[in-house]
Structure 1
Amino acid sequence: MLNSEAQDLYDIRRLALLVEVVEQGSITAAADTMMYTPSAVSQQLRKLEQEVGQPLLNRRSRGVVPTEAGQVLAGHARKIVGQIRAAQADLDQIAGLRRGSLTVGTFPTLAGSFLPIVIRAFKKRYPAIGLSVRSARFDELVWDLESGVTGLCLLWDYPWNRFHDDAIRVTEVFQESTVILVAKGHPLAGRDEVSMSELRKESWIVRAEAHPVVEVLQRSAHDAGFEPSIGFLANDYQEAQAMVSVGMGVAMVPKTAVALQHPDVRVLSLGSAAPLRRVLLAQRQDKVYAPAEVAFHTTLLEIARDRAADYL
């Protein structure tokens, strides 16, 4: 019998990563193809080397080349990965993933940051599935899900107002930190971290129309003993960043809101005091999930596990 370490050698994901790195000659190129970060690929390959008990790759300034052991293992891995992919293709045929459509609900900050990564991976795996996306406010997302307009959707909540609906099943995707935006010329711009108490005299730029981030700011400011002074109401986060960049004030935003960061804006951490919001994947409790929904659910959570640290 194989011991636990020998059994780990046959982790298909690690074998697939090894094959891709050997064929590409680069960890970065393989990471892009396999929808991982380079650090995640390196970590998995180090585990594989530990399990094998010998080095598999020689790392050079312009890429990597396999050792003799790496060549041997990659040769076997190609056959194994090929067989697994063939089996998955057969199962996908049976499950109906060669046809069909799926509509996903989301909210703007995720649509501009995390979700496109998921969509790219999903379309690559299941090119025959027609995928559409609806971006909306929270109440509209819940309504679309409950009425069957969307098969699943992404929601969010905060510790003081957890989402609960007996008709909806939710899965935590990742937790997201709240950050502070200041102009490049702001006295605090050289810092990595700041406290709310240091911002009591600032003018604040917030989202208009009673956006949820306003409550996050008010709670954080009240905890620090002050009432925030609102200087500008922005229609979206890009407008908020633009106003911050020219010194109209500072802003508090969820981290995904600065996926496209303005060059004249600096992002500061609130450390352990930063409010965290949960990003949730929601589906109806009372339905049989279509194969396309199951596939999207799986793809999304796989990518979230790899990228969760980026949002804290």
Structure 2
Amino acid sequence: MLNVRRLLLLTEIAEHGSLTGAASAAGMTASAASQQMSRLEAEVGQPLLERLPRGVRLTGAGEALVARGRAIRRELRAAQADLDAFARLDRGTLRLGSFPTVSASLLPLALTRFARAHAGAEVVVRSAMLAQLREMLHTGEVELALLWDYRWNRVSDEALTLTHLLNDPTVLVVPANSRLLDEPEVSLRSLAAQHWIIRADNHPVAEVLRRSCRLAGFEPRIAYESHDYQEAQAMVAAGLGIAIAPRLALTNRRNDVRLVRLGADVPAPIRRILLARPENRMPTPATLAMIDILHAVAERFTDTNLDRNQLGSVRRVGGPRAPRA
């Protein structure tokens, strides 16, 4: 097997016409360059250079190798240019995993910022549930994923590097004319007689409701099982019942529902939003850039900022509200 470094040095010697000139360009002594050429000639089993009083001359075999050396040098320079482009994010694809709640809230802003800053890079988003997202990280289908957990189902995986992005608290969803808006604070225990809108198909938020209600000493009376948060809001607005939901799920809140913080008698569960990437893979420049952007965007979706900018009406105490029908 030919030594590529020596082949490239031979190419430099051919272009400079001397060992001394090539050695200077390569950052080595003429003696070291001569030794490298002797080793290359030993590898190929024939002379490649004729030493002249002034300079050197290629043999036929040397000319053939120099032609190959120039082609290899072109490819190596092109490869370096490709790597530089990926480092500048002028090229490349980021495979990102997400789930519906964040895909409908903070992710669009992050994607927009990434596209503006790195127009040459592409982002491919795969939306899935928690177990599928973890599997896609393990198999390499995605390089970075947004995950979630509660205190009773913490994501613990030695194969993943996990970073906390933000907390997503649980809130109560009530009609805009609900009497609950008159209360200075809503205790979950006081809601035992209420009917509830719940997510269908064993959705995680259904488990959140049942766990919270059991801690408060009652089983929730289920009036309707919805298949998405917009449907749940519509049923709440219609007066069929009340609901709980993670705050990020209600970024696009209907005008005819209001959000209420639950009292401290039974602490409202907090969902953690996490960033995950494989532990054994070095993150690409695109991955690192997206991580920075997601952290910046998450600041806009913190509890305080959501109160002010996103949801508009998250209530703990009474105040002006819509008239009752």
Give the alignment's TM-score, normalised by structure 2: 0.65
The answer as to whether partners of 2:93 and 2:123 remain within 8 angstroms in 1 is: yes
Q: Which residue of 2 aligns with 1:170?
A: 162
Q: CA deviation at 1:311?
A: 5.1
- Residue 274 of structure 1 pairs with residue 265 of structure 2: no
Paired with 1:266 and 1:155, the residues of 2 have a C-alpha distance of 27
Q: In 2 relative to 1, CA 192–240 (structure 1 residues): closer, same or farther, beyond 3 Å?
A: farther
Paired with 1:96 and 1:268, the residues of 2 have a C-alpha distance of 45
SS of 2:224's equivalent in the other structure is strand
Q: Which residue of 2 aligns with 1:294?
A: 288
Q: In 2 relative to 1, CA 149–303 (structure 1 residues): closer, same or farther, beyond 3 Å?
A: same
Paired with 1:94 and 1:136, the residues of 2 have a C-alpha distance of 27
Q: Which among 283, 304, 310 is matched to residue 298 of structure 2? A: 304
SS of 2:151's equivalent in the other structure is coil
Q: Which residue of 2 aligns with 1:115?
A: 107
Aligned-pair identity (%): 41
Q: Which residue of 2 aligns with 1:229?
A: 221
Q: In 2 relative to 1, CA 287–278 (structure 1 residues): closer, same or farther, beyond 3 Å?
A: same
Question: How many aligned residue pairs are there?
Answer: 222
Q: Which among 214, 227, 232 is matched to residue 206 of structure 2? A: 214
SS of 1:160's equivalent in the other structure is helix
Q: CA deviation at 1:115?
A: 0.9
- Residue 100 of structure 1 pairs with residue 92 of structure 2: yes
Q: CA deviation at 1:306?
A: 4.5
Q: CA deviation at 1:206?
A: 0.9
The structure with the largest alpha-carbon Rg is 2
The answer as to whether partners of 2:86 and 2:285 remain within 8 angstroms in 1 is: no
Paired with 1:142 and 1:184, the residues of 2 have a C-alpha distance of 39
Q: In 2 relative to 1, CA 266–94 (structure 1 residues): closer, same or farther, beyond 3 Å?
A: closer
Q: In 2 relative to 1, CA 238–306 (structure 1 residues): closer, same or farther, beyond 3 Å?
A: closer
Q: CA deviation at 1:93?
A: 4.5
Q: In 2 relative to 1, CA 298–92 (structure 1 residues): closer, same or farther, beyond 3 Å?
A: farther
Q: Which among 159, 166, 187 is matched to residue 195 of structure 1? A: 187
Q: CA deviation at 1:247?
A: 0.5
Q: CA deviation at 1:305?
A: 3.3
Paired with 2:263 and 2:96, the residues of 1 have a C-alpha distance of 33
Residues 117-165 of structure 1: per-residue CA shift (max 9 Å, x gap): 1111111111111112111111111111111111110000111221101
Q: In 2 relative to 1, CA 242–276 (structure 1 residues): closer, same or farther, beyond 3 Å?
A: same
Q: In 2 relative to 1, CA 230–130 (structure 1 residues): closer, same or farther, beyond 3 Å?
A: same
Residues 208-251 of structure 1: per-residue CA shift (max 9 Å, x gap): 11001111111111111111111111010000001100001100
Paired with 1:178 and 1:212, the residues of 2 have a C-alpha distance of 12
Root-mean-square deviation (CA), in Å? 1.8
Paired with 1:94 and 1:252, the residues of 2 have a C-alpha distance of 44
Counterpart AA for 1:183: P
Q: In 2 relative to 1, CA 193–262 (structure 1 residues): closer, same or farther, beyond 3 Å?
A: farther
Map 1:18-167 onto structure 2 (within 5 A): 93=85, 95-167=87-159
Paired with 1:245 and 1:92, the residues of 2 have a C-alpha distance of 54
Unaligned runs of 5+ residues in structure 2 are: 1-82, 308-325
Q: CA deviation at 1:275?
A: 1.1
Counterpart AA for 1:291: P
The answer as to whether partners of 1:183 and 1:189 remain within 8 angstroms in 2 is: no
SS of 1:140's equivalent in the other structure is helix
Q: CA deviation at 1:281?
A: 0.4
Counterpart AA for 2:285: P
